[in-house]
Amino acid sequence: SALREQLETLQKLNVQMTREAENLTRALRGDTKTQGAWGEFILESILEKSGLEKDREYFVQESFTTVEGRLRPDVIVRLPEKKHVIIDSKVSLTAYNNFVNAETDDERTLYLKAHLASLRQHMKLLGDKNYQKNITDSSLDFVIMFIPIEPAYILAIQSEKLLYEEALEKRIVFVSPTLLIPSLQLIKNTWKQEYQTRHVMDIATKAGDLYDKFVGFSEDMITLGRHLDSSKKFYEESMKKLSV
């Protein structure tokens, strides 16, 4: 029952995010800067609804100075044991929108190639930044490239079977909202177990301290009892001296 409820929540969230993405496609047509800001907004919205806490489990737009210059990934998600995973939003709407609105097969073929080329360009730029090595040694050995438009993601992987392998060679995993949402839920559950483990260890530590104090108190009481016996014995012997 709990699993069914969680899956229904994930499904509703995914439908909502996809609908928002499709409704905004026309408004974002051709404006690269606006597209990028919108993709980051969608990414943050999913993070906010994932149950992870901002500035504790994930951090947005943190800047890092490296030997190769200033780097600022969209999101860094913390994992237990001081690990991190980096998520970067890459939006390719122009070519995809042209593909959707194409009227002939030749136009669709042309815009499909442009859509795949746009994704490959994003992959190249992300791979060149090498976030997982240039920012922190504790990052996982890959970066998540987030594509906020579900149909654009599906079109790419169905049209180019080797695209996913090309991304993996660059240590990149690209995901849609459908894949990102359960991934974040998995991270949330990992943190939940981590916090529970920490609480258990904290309780065990406090219980150990309490036991040590109880042992010390018991030893003091035993010592006090011996002193009382000695005092009683000394008292009785002193009273005997007063006896005739």
- pLDDT tens sequence for the chain (244 residues): 777 777 777 777 777 777 666 666 555 565 677 777 888 888 888 888 888 888 888 888 777 766 666 778 888 888 877 788 888 888 767 888 888 888 899 999 999 999 999 899 988 888 888 776 766 665 667 888 998 888 888 888 888 888 888 888 888 888 888 888 888 888 877 777 766 766 656 656 665 666 566 666 667 667 767 766 777 777 667 767 666 5
- Local structure of 136: helix, strand or coil: coil
Burial of 12 (0-12, 13-18, 19+ CB in 10 A): exposed
Is the separation of the CB atoms in 142 and 171 below 8 Å?
yes
> What sign results for the dihedral spanned by CA atoms 30, 33, 38, 40?
positive
Is the separation of the CB atoms in 143 and 131 below 8 Å?
yes
Q: Rounded to the nearest 5 degrees, what angle is found at the Cα of 139, between the Cα atoms of 136 and 145?
A: 115
